[in-house]
A and B are shown apart, each in its own frame.
Chain A
Amino acid sequence: DSGVTQTPKHLITATGQRVTLRCSPRSGDLSVYWYQQSLDQGLQFLIQYYNGEERAKGNILERFSAQQFPDLHSELNLSSLELGDSALYFCASSPRAGGTHTDTQYFGPGTRLTVL
């Protein structure tokens, strides 16, 4: 158990809908990262937040947005969902803002999103 929690574990929805994925980082970790894992694209970095502010951006679509709240939990919002958004979405946390080259990322168990 990494200490990172993600809810829900599974989510099934329809095209065009909007969903929110939630992540609670390990106690004391200030950074939260979001990743998308799909069969065709592999594991892709989406976005990083540090202490409430956006820190780094990866291949995140404009239909997707994220935020980190004062209690440090984070939410990933996915809107106008398409079939191709079906994937496993991981959240990771790390103690500091330095990114992977200075501190280790701890991954949550993921949320499996199925868009029908």
Chain B
Amino acid sequence: AQSVTQLDSQVPVFEEAPVELRCNYSSSVSVYLFWYVQYPNQGLQLLLKYLSGSTLVKGINGFEAEFNKSQTSFHLRKPSVHISDTAEYFCAVSGTGGFKTIFGAGTRLFVKA
């Protein structure tokens, strides 16, 4: 079985500062990893995904994430955030042999002016 832990429930940050949202997973099998963003009153939107290959994955809106197998982590980063990045971010994992996706509890990113 897989599980996902998002280490921070809330991350406040000033505009134009860098940010890292942390995600750790556990799994006994190979996994695929995802980051989704949920803006207020909207559904989830895929930011990026790691399936295989390069461990540095670039996504939309300037976000990137790095897969670290030894540390079982998939942290999300952005070098300079905007007010419009204020949202909830979900890390998710699915096993390569199955279709179920397990989501983390979410991290609320709050960008201050």
Q: Which residues of A contact B (CB under 8 A)?
A: 2, 4, 42-45, 48, 55-56, 58, 90, 92, 98-101, 104-105, 107-110
Grouping DSSP codes into helix (H, G, I), strand (E, B) and loop, the A interface class, with mixed when no group exceeds half, is loop
| Closest residue on chain A to residue B46 by CB atoms | A104
B41, B45, B105: the one within 8 Å of A107 (CB): B45
Interface residues as binary, B36-78 with A (CB distance below 8 Å gives 1, 0 otherwise): 0000011111100101000000000000000000000000000
Instruction: Tell me which of A100, A108, A110 contacts B101 (CB under 8 A).
Output: A100
- Pick 21 A–B contacts, CB within 8 A, sort by A: A2-B43, A2-B45, A42-B105, A55-B99, A56-B99, A90-B43, A92-B43, A98-B99, A99-B98, A99-B100, A100-B34, A100-B92, A100-B94, A100-B99, A101-B32, A104-B46, A105-B46, A107-B43, A107-B44, A107-B45, A109-B41
**In the complex, what distance in Å separates the CA atom of A106 from the CA atom of B92?**
15
Shortest distance from the beta carbon of A100 to any chain B beta carbon, whole Å: 5
- B residues with CB within 8 A of A: 32, 34, 41-46, 49, 51, 90, 92, 94, 96, 98-106
